[in-house]
Amino acid sequence: MDNSTIQQPVSSAVEPILAAAEKLFSEHGFAAVSMREIGIEARVSKANVFHHFGTKDKLYKTVIQRIIRASTELLDELDNGEDNFHSRLLRFNNGHLNNILKNSQGACLLIQESMALRSGHGQQMAAELLGNQFNRLVKLISMGQKAGDLRADADPAMVACLLVSANLFFFDAMPVIAHLDSVNFADDPDKYSAGVIDTLFKGISAQESEQ
């Protein structure tokens, strides 16, 4: 048969279940979502969810691993290009932010997971992902520093912290901040990202050279 459905890896129900679980877990957290609700969202019986994933924990870990895989794949596409340091950092930062915004459900779940929740269902997996992304950014910054594009006394890890934290902040605090009249970049991620890079490059001090 030459239908458009070329391959269906395991079963037609697995993917809807994973999508429903990712949506509900990210919206309400692990404990607040029941297997019955996931089955309803995926138009499948609760028993079938258990049939495919065994336990609630296994389903959750599968969801997290799927998010991590998608996230790293998206990030790999950003490693190409040989332009100068400033524009490359801008591309990386913009891509990182848009990556977060694109699948906000997954990002929400990973942030939940990386927080101090001691239960740690998938905590170490999230930690590994964030660590990898962070190291990659630090390496990029260090390269720019050795090439002379970045002042020598700046700490690459500190710069990476400022960049990543700015993006995470945009994602999960901007809905709260947006209504303040002092903020005019709430609805434009690209503008925000560019502003972050610009502010970070030029610094905020009034005197041009103090030493």
Q: Which does 158 bind (CB under 5 to 8 A by kind): a copy of itself, DNA, none?
A: a copy of itself
Residue 28 DSSP label? H
Residues 6+ apart with CB under 8 A from 189: 94, 97, 98, 101, 170
Nearer CB in complex with DNA: 121/136? 121
d(C-alpha 32, C-alpha 24), whole Å = 9
Buried b (16+ CB within 10 A) or exposed e, 176-204: eeeeeeeeebbeebeebbeebbeebeeee
User: Among 45, 65, 84, 124, which residue sits at the site for DNA (rule: CB under 7 A)?
Assistant: 45
Contact call for residue 42 and a copy of itself (CB under 8 A): no
User: If binding is defined by CB under 7 A, does position 35 make contact with DNA?
Assistant: yes
Contact residues for a copy of itself (CB under 8 A)?
A: 26-32, 104, 108, 111-112, 114-119, 126-127, 130-131, 134-135, 138, 148-152, 154-159, 161-162, 164-166, 168-170, 172-173, 175-177, 179-180, 182-185, 192, 195-196, 199-206, 208-210
